[in-house]
Amino acid sequence: MNITIDWIAFVQVFIAAMIASVLVVGFYALGLRLLVRAGRAPVVAPAEFTDAIAVITEKQRARAAKAAAKAAKKSPLSDGQKRFALVCAYASFAVCALAVLGGLLLILFNH
């Protein structure tokens, strides 16, 4: 029994995984940045977990929401620019979703 490794295929998979991870993380970060720029900073409500390391209180959540609203009012962008940033943020999230979906389709149907 002789086991051989196709190193070229290994390198191809490694490069594809690196490109896909940079693509997903990069576009997700860009989407979050544009979302904040559009004045829609994501504020997550506190969650109660039994094994949580740190859980924010309702007061801390309200303070974060107030700070996000204040930052949104200070934005130097016009309404049109904010709308454009919001559309671009959603487009960035769509690119992330398409990259993940494409990877899943490759895994499922490329055998």
Q: Which residues of the chain have pLDDT under 70?
A: 43-55, 72, 75, 111
**Three-state SS annotation for 21-74:** HHHHHHHHHHHHHHHHHCCCCCCCCCCCCCCCCCCCCHHHHHHHHHHHHHHHHH
Residue with tokens 């196709």: 6
* pTM of full prediction above 0.85: no
Residue with tokens 């940079």: 22
Per-residue pLDDT reduced to its tens digit, 71-100: 767 767 788 888 999 999 999 999 999 999
